[in-house]
Amino acid sequence: MKVVLPLEEKNGMASAMCEHFGSAPFFAVADSDTDAVVIIANPNSDHVHGQCTPADAFAGMGADAVICNGIGARAATKMQMVGIGVYLADGSPTLADALGRFKAGELVKVTAEQACQGHDCH
């Protein structure tokens, strides 16, 4: 399964998870079956709020899921509409922790009630 995670930094598996999904400086693209991980820059990290479309980009790369500590309701809905599951990392501090918890089945899918309602939600 191909999963995408927002990151604050490019520091391998020790990379810190980014709290703000769309404005993350980097994204990890991980294959949970092979453990392969590639970290890519987010070309839209400085976008105007609500003006980026990561769902289209992630769908185009074959992503099956997104794992994040927080995501807006509109972004979560767009991901789900293109068949990408959205999972809450539940405060996971690093890429390694979030992926490990995902593989262990500890993360739950985001519901509308769990999505961020603004930048001060977490």
What is the tens place of the pLDDT at every residue in 59-72?
888 999 999 988 87
Tokens of 1: 């399964």
Strands 85-88 and 37-41: unpaired
Answer yes or no: is 23 within a domain.
Answer: yes
Number of H helices, E strands in the chain: 3, 5
What is the tens place of the pLDDT at every residue in 73-112?
888 888 888 899 999 998 999 999 999 999 999 998 986 5
What is the tens place of the pLDDT at every residue in 21-55?
878 899 999 998 899 999 999 876 554 445 555 67
Nearest to 18 by CA among 91, 110, 99, 77: 91
Answer yes or no: is 12 within a domain.
Answer: yes
Answer yes or no: is 111 within a domain.
Answer: no
**CATH code of residue 84:** 3.30.420.130
Nearest to 99 by CA among 22, 38, 25, 24: 38
Answer yes or no: is 74 within a domain.
Answer: yes
Tokens of 95: 């890429």
Q: Which residue has the higher pLDDT, 93 or 56?
A: 93
Q: Burial level of 60, CB count in 10 A (0-12/13-18/19+)?
A: exposed
Answer yes or no: is 114 within a domain.
Answer: no
pTM of the model: 0.84
User: Residue 37: enclosing H or E segment and its boundaries?
Assistant: strand 37-41
The number of distinct structural domains making up the chain is 1
Query: Is residue 95 helix, strand or coil?
Result: helix
Backbone angles phi, psi at 4, to 5 degrees: -120, 135
Give the domain extent around 46.
2-103
Answer yes or no: is 95 within a domain.
Answer: yes
CA end-to-end distance (rounded Å), the chain: 28
Question: Tell me, what's the pLDDT at 114?
Answer: 53
Question: Tell me, what's the pLDDT at 32?
Answer: 86
